[in-house]
């Protein structure tokens, strides 16, 4: 408590050089005094007796007066230096730091995301980032050499530290700023601010701390989903820093960007023509742009001219036939004249497959035609052509199901398949469950159909802990044979799950008329479980396993959930007609295709990454030699081995920053890797100062444009003791004059002496 | 005062006199300047005694007519006077080293009438006017005036000892001897006023008017003892303390190394700070000397060697006239 009430006084100096000069100048009166004692006139004097008598009598007084005058003159010069040094009194300070003369911490955050590459006429700077670097260096030039420390951070994703520890070497700090490169990544402002916060907390001794933010004030940088985090950080930083934001953006800047490029379906195949969708937007007052599609760098016909804006609908490339399987590069360019060309092109690597291999596990083979638990499903996934009925097992489907019994499951290498479907499998061993879990986590799709043989206890004990179920199986629900049964809660004009989009407006799909007589009730327990379809309540339902009559309106019929890179689809009834009439409906085939194709991952996700992210080689990738990677400029990129979550060793590159097509060689195979700028950085429309302030929680912040304010503006006038010290100097000068007159140490005129 | 009188007054200015090297010329100029400036000179009233009557002849000054005889006899007789020679004047001049101090510079380029005369009469050495110059000028003037009145004049020059002594005499050559001696005597030694005054008190056999010219930078007790001895011998005393303007005002500014004359050591100091104390000490000594003289019925005059001599000499002559009457 005592310590809290102690008054601490500490000073920081705006121009400490003047204080040094003052201290040096304070020695001038002493030097003059000494020189005067050496430079004197000689007078032959007769009345020496009286002079000596006067000297004897006044010796002490004279000496005292001399010393006090000398001290006053020295003090005047020293205080004058102090006044010109502009001392600032600070409340959050300590004298130790002041004594050391190291009293200021300046943290400079420079946004070097790709939007900072916006080109504008501001010589000698060509881009926002170049201007920011010039301003930051000018700012450092204003700092007192040796007295103030600098930390440099960059705000491109991921936020990084250029100079981690506060440096007093200002030249080094400026050199570090010169080394900051324009990235093609998005903005990680919150990450940079978190680092700034940590630095301030690590430097409690700094007398004053200043945080300078150099950004283009774009919506993509400030109007971010993590608004709450920015709010919180702003409040915390305001307690530790004096914050200044420099807005490098131009009020009317605009940009057009290809934000996304994707195939219409997760399966791009050689069997059918494919569709690709490009999201092209314009932010600000953009101009016309010509679209240019390319396949493997060869232009495709169908380029159109559009004027993109924020409402521009997706552009579709349809009927693209790809003849060969394997990875191909699709790209789309918006050729225009904007000032940020880096995001005018987007590339996509698609793994074109001839077929989608699916492993269908049949738990119940049945005894009759189409009585197997997977009979309907297999037929639905690969419907035979007319020719096949004549003995040629041909199908037009891109899906290639492989039907096995549950006894064969353990012998299969699951990574050879894109999806595994279990139909009425009685129980799953722990080893099988582990394989399935790993399969899903690595991007595979697991579909589970219920049935008579399903052992609920086994499923709950084995699959549920491995997140391969949406929730525990609680009760098997059935209706009496005289009742209609349950139906799907399907309204073609209502709100539909994305997997059901194809059924929108379809009145006669059969989804609404299908009847379900038995199903396993499941209680979804995970947050990530999506309900695709629910059961609607029946007028009267009777359970065969329970005498109670209940309403089951909220019981899910079909759910889907993510696990790792893959997905799990759960269907609570059978895949055949044992428990439902749905397999006989026209919608059955379509729904099964949609569920499967909507859930399977395209195998090319790892080949499409965002700038700033590293490349991870999937474990399923077959390597016949040590992999190597080259960037778009043909320079090699190092690949290092690292441990994945499961402890396996995988290859990983450094963050890939340059957009373009990289080439990965794995021995016999070469894969293109597409690196694109982040879509969320494209909106370069600037926010006004109030919005910046609001984004940081309405804190007290100095909002500047793209020029440094006059140096005097940086002075905290409220704490400036310069004028007080100057007043003291004047008072001391008056006192010195008075004492000099009083003591007789002033000149009255020239006197001649022989 | 007429223009001619004003011109003669300039002859009394030490700055002008400093340009004249010959002491006897200085003395004559001073006397002329002094006499011209006086309307009724006390010079007329001293050393004049009645001798006889003689008949009036045309052209005689009627101021000397004896109107009492005319009333009794109806004849006009004039009173004739015989000059007295019973005054013995002894000038004692301090020729110690301290008396050589002087700061009064000769007059500048703009030559006054006196300077023109001085230039005609002799070489212009243009040395500063010292206290000793001031003392010798006064001595020469008094001696000249006394000789003119047939009074006897003597001279004593001393430093730490009695260097020269000339018994009072009214011989016409006495003045020449005195001025010559005053110019020749070197000034290198310390003062010992008391001992010299004792010596002179023993030497003087007749009652004399003694004029003592010195800066009195000496032991006050020693001076007191000497003066008392002279007064005991019934001599009449006049004391002239001669100080330089620098000694009186002490106007120094910069750091100065004061080297004491008469082996008084040296002192490096900032004089501005010491001025007040010095002036107090000097004033205290002068006051003590003045009080000492007053106590022994001795006339005391403090003279500034930078000021004209007429004021001091006029005062002396007026004092003497009052004493004769």
Cβ pair A54:B280 closer than 8 A = yes
> pLDDT by residue (tens digit) across A269-294?
887 788 889 998 888 887 888 888 99
Chain A interface mutation, best of B159, B218, B245, B281, highest count of A Cβ atoms under 10 Å: B281
Q: A9 vs chain B: nearest CA distance in angstroms?
A: 40
The tens digit of pLDDT for each residue in A561-601 reads: 998 888 999 999 999 888 998 888 888 998 998 898 888 87
CA distance A40 to chain B (A): 5
pLDDT digits (tens, 9 = 90+) for A525-549: 877 889 999 988 655 443 334 333 3
Whether the pTM exceeds 0.95: the reply is no
Give the count of Cβ contacts less than 8 A between chain A and B: 132
What CATH number is given for A255-353 in this structure? 2.60.40.10
> How far is A74 from chain B, CA to nearest CA, in Å?
19
Choose among A589, A593, A551, A585: nearest CA to A569.
A593
* B159/A contact by beta carbon, under 8 A: no
What separation in angstroms does the CA of A407 have from each of A13, A172, A380, A425, A427? 82, 69, 23, 10, 11
Task: Report whether pLDDT(A151) > 80.
Answer: yes
DSSP string, A169-215: -HHHHHHHHHH----SS-B-HHHHHHHHHHHHHH-TT-SEEEEEEEE
Nearest residue of chain B to residue A36 (CA atoms): B255
**Bridge partners for A12 per DSSP:** A88
3-state secondary structure of A61: helix
User: What confidence tier does A246 reach under pLDDT thresholds 50, 70, 90?
Assistant: very high
Which of B106, B241, B266, B270 is most worth mutating to test chain A (most A CB atoms within 10 A of its CB)?
B270
Q: Does B258 touch chain A (CB under 8 A)?
A: yes
Bridge partners, A76 (sequence order) = none
The B residues from 203 to 242 touching A (CB cutoff 8 Å) are 215, 217
Find the CB nearest B252 among A46, A743, A753. Answer: A753
For an interface test with A, which of B130, B132, B258, B283 has the most A Cβ atoms less than 10 Å from its Cβ? B258
Instruction: Annotate A731-743 with b (16+ C-beta within 10 A) or e (fewer).
Output: ebeeebeeebeeb
Best mutation target among B250, B256, B264, B277 (most A Cβ atoms within 10 Å) is: B277
Residues of A in contact with B270 (CB under 8 A): 36, 62, 66, 745
Confidence of residue B117 (pLDDT cuts 50, 70, 90): very low
- The predicted-structure confidence for B193-252, as pLDDT tens digits, reads as follows 888 999 899 888 888 889 999 999 888 898 999 999 999 988 888 899 999 988 998 888
Instruction: Tell me whether residues A747 and B253 touch, CB distance under 8 A.
Output: yes
Q: Do B261 and A58 touch (CB under 8 A)?
A: no
Using a CB-CB distance cutoff of 8 angstroms, which residues of chain B are in contact with residue A46?
Answer: 97-101, 131, 215, 217, 244, 247, 260-262
* Neighbouring C-alpha atoms within 13 Å toward the C-beta of A294: 17
CA-nearest of A353, A375, A351 to A362 is A375
How close is the nearest chain B Cα to the Cα of A63, in Å? 10
A31–chain B nearest CA distance, Å = 15
Rounded to whole angstroms, how far apart are CA atoms B224 and B219?
A: 9
Q: In whole angstroms, what is the distance from residue B279 CA to residue A44 CA?
A: 18
Interface with B, mutate which of A54, A58, A69 (most B CBs under 10 A): A54
Within 8 A of A68 by CB-CB distance, chain B residues are: none
CATH topology classification for A605-676 = Immunoglobulin-like (2.60.40)
Q: Do domains A356-385+394-599 and A605-676 have the same CATH topology?
A: no
Q: Which residue has the higher pLDDT, A10 or A195?
A: A195
In 3D space, the residue among A230, A133, A41, A275 whose CA is nearest the CA of residue A753 turns out to be A41
Cβ contact A751–B251 (<8 Å): yes
User: Would the pLDDT of A443 be above 80?
Assistant: yes
pLDDT at residue A67 above 60?
Answer: yes
CATH number of A356-385+394-599: 3.40.50.880
Per domain, the residue ranges of chain B are 48-83, 86-111+127-324
pLDDT at residue A490 tops 60? yes
B86-111+127-324 to CATH, choices 1.10.150.310, 3.40.50.410, 3.60.20.10, 3.90.1150.10: 3.40.50.410
Please name the residue of chain B whose CA is at the shortest distance from the CA of residue A69.
B273
Inter-residue contact A530 to A563 (CB < 8 Å)? no
Contacts of A693 (CB under 8 A, 6+ apart): A699, A701, A703
**A66 confidence band (pLDDT: 50, 70, 90):** confident
* Residue of chain B whose alpha carbon sits nearest to that of A740: B273
From the list A51, A747, A751, which residue is nearest B267 (CB)?
A51
Q: Do B281 and A50 touch (CB under 8 A)?
A: yes
Write down the domain spans for chain A. 9-39+46-86+721-743, 104-252+689-706, 255-353, 356-385+394-599, 605-676
Contact A41 B280 (CB under 8 A): no
Instruction: Look at residue A393 in the predicted model and tell me its pLDDT.
Output: 53
Q: How far apart are CA B318 and CA B325, in angstroms?
A: 11
**Confidence (pLDDT) at A361:** 93
Tell me the CA end-to-end span of chain A in Å, nearest whole number. Answer: 73
Q: Could you name the CATH architecture of A104-252+689-706?
A: 3-Layer(aba) Sandwich (3.40)
């Amino acid at each position: 408590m005592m310590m809290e009430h102690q008054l601490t006084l500490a000073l920081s100096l705006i121009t400490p050089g003047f204080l040094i000069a003052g201290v040096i100048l304070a020695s001038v009166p002493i030097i003059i005094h000494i020189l005067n004692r050496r430079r004197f006139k000689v007078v032959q004097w007769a009345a020496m007796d009286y002079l000596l008598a006067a000297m004897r009598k006044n010796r002490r007084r004279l000496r005292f007066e001399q010393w006090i005058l000398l001290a006053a003159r020295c003090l005047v010069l020293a205080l004058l230096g102090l006044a010109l040094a502009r001392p600032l009194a600070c409340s959050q300070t300590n004298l130790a730091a002041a004594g050391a003369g190291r009293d200021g911490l300046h943290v400079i955050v420079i946004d070097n995301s790709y939007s900072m590459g916006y080109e504008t006429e501001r010589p000698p700077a060509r881009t926002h980032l170049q201007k920011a670097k010039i301003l930051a260096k000018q700012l450092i030039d204003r700092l007192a050499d040796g007295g103030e420390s600098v930390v440099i951070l960059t705000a491109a994703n991921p936020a990084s530290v250029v100079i981690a520890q506060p440096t007093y070497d200002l030249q080094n700090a400026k050199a570090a700023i010169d080394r900051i490169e324009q990235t093609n990544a998005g903005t990680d402002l919150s990450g940079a601010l978190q680092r700034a916060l940590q630095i301030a907390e690590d430097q409690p001794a700094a007398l004053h701390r200043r945080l300078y933010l150099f950004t283009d004030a774009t919506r993509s940088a400030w109007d971010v989903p993590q608004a709450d985090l920015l709010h919180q950080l702003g409040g915390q930083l305001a307690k530790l820093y004096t914050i200044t934001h420099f807005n490098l953006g131009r009020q009317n800047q605009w940009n057009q960007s290809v934000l996304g490029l994707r195939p219409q379906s997760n399966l791009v195949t050689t069997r059918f023509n494919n569709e690709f969708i490009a999201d092209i937007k314009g932010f600000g007052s953009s101009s016309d742009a010509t679209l240019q599609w390319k396949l493997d760098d060869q232009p495709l016909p169908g380029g159109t001219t559009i004027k993109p804006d924020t409402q521009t609908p997706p552009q579709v490339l349809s009927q693209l036939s790809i003849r060969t399987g394997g990875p191909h590069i699709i790209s789309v360019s918006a050729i225009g004249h904007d000032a940020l060309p880096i995001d005018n092109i987007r590339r996509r690597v698609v793994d074109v497959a001839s077929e989608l291999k699916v492993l269908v596990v049949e738990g119940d083979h049945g005894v009759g035609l189409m009585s197997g638990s997977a009979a309907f499903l297999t037929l639905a996934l690969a419907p035979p052509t007319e020719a096949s009925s004549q003995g040629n097992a041909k199908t037009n489907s891109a899906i290639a199901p492989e039907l096995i019994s549950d006894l064969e499951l353990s012998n299969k290498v699951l990574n050879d398949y894109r999806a595994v479907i279990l139909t009425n499998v009685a129980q799953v061993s722990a080893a099988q469950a582990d394989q399935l879990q790993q399969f899903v986590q690595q991007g595979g799709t697991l579909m589970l159909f219920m049935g008579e043989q399903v052992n609920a206890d086994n499923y709950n004990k084995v699959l549920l802990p491995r997140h391969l179920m949406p929730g525990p199986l609680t009760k098997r629900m059935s209706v009496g044979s005289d009742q209609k049964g349950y139906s799907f809660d399907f309204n073609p004009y209502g709100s539909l799950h994305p997997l059901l989009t194809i059924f929108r407006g379809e009145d006669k799909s059969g989804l609404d008329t299908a009847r379900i007589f038995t199903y396993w009730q499941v209680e979804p327990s995970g947050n990530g479980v999506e309900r695709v379809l629910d059961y609607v309540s029946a007028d009267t339902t009777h359970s065969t396993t329970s005498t109670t009559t209940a309403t089951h309106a909220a019981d899910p019929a079909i759910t889907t959930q993510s696990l790792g890179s893959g997905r799990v689809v759960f269907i609570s009834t059978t895949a055949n007609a044992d428990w439902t009439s749905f397999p006989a409906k026209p919608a059955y085939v379509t729904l099964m295709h949609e569920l499967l194709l909507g859930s399977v991952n395209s195998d090319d996700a790892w080949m499409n990454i965002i700038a700033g992210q590293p490349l991870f080689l999937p474990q399923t990738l077959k390597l016949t030699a040590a992999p190597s990677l080259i960037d778009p400029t043909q320079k090699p990129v190092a690949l290092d081995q690292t441990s994945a979550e499961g402890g396996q060793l995988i290859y990983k590159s450094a963050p890939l920053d340059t957009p373009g097509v990289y080439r990965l060689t794995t021995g016999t195979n070469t894969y293109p890797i597409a690196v694109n700028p982040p879509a969320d950085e494209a909106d370069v429309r600037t926010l006004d100062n109030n919005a910046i302030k609001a984004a940081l929680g309405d804190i007290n912040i100095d909002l500047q444009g793209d020029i440094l304010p006059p140096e005097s503006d940086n002075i905290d006038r409220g704490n400036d003791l310069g004028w007080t010290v100057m007043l003291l100097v004047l008072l001391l000068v008056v006192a010195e004059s008075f004492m000099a007159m009083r003591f007789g140490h002033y000149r009255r005129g020239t006197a001649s002496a022989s | 005062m007429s223009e001619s009188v004003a011109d003669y007054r300039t002859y009394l200015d030490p700055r002008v006199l400093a340009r004249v090297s010959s002491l006897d010329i200085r003395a004559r100029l001073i006397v002329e300047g002094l006499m011209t400036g006086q309307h009724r000179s006390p010079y007329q009233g001293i050393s004049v005694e009645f001798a006889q009557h003689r008949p009036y002849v045309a052209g005689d000054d009627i101021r000397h007519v004896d109107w009492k005889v005319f009333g009794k006899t109806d004849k006009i007789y004039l009173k004739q006077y015989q000059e007295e020679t019973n005054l013995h004047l002894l000038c004692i001049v301090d020729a110690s080293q301290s008396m050589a101090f002087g700061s009064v510079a000769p007059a500048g380029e703009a030559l006054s009438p006196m300077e023109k005369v001085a230039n005609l009469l002799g070489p212009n050495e243009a040395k500063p006017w010292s206290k000793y110059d001031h003392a010798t000028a006064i001595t020469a003037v008094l001696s000249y005036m006394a000789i003119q009145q047939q009074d006897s004049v003597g001279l004593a020059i001393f430093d730490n000892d009695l260097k020269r002594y000339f018994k009072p005499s009214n011989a016409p050559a006495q003045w020449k001897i005195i001025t010559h001696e005053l110019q020749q005597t070197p000034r290198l030694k310390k003062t010992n006023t008391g001992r010299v005054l004792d010596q002179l008190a023993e030497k003087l056999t007749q009652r004399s008017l003694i004029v003592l010219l010195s800066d009195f930078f000496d032991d006050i007790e020693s001076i007191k003892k000497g003066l008392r001895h002279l007064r005991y011998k019934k001599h009449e005393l006049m004391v002239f303390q001669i100080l330089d303007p620098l000694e009186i005002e002490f106007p120094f500014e910069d750091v100065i190394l004061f080297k004491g004359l008469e082996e008084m050591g040296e002192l490096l100091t900032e004089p501005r700070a010491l001025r007040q104390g010095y002036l107090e000490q000097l004033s205290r000594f002068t006051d003590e000397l003045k009080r000492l003289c007053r106590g022994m019925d001795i006339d005391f005059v403090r003279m500034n060697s930078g000021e004209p001599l007429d004021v001091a000499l006029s005062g002396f002559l007026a004092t003497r006239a009052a004493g004769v009457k």
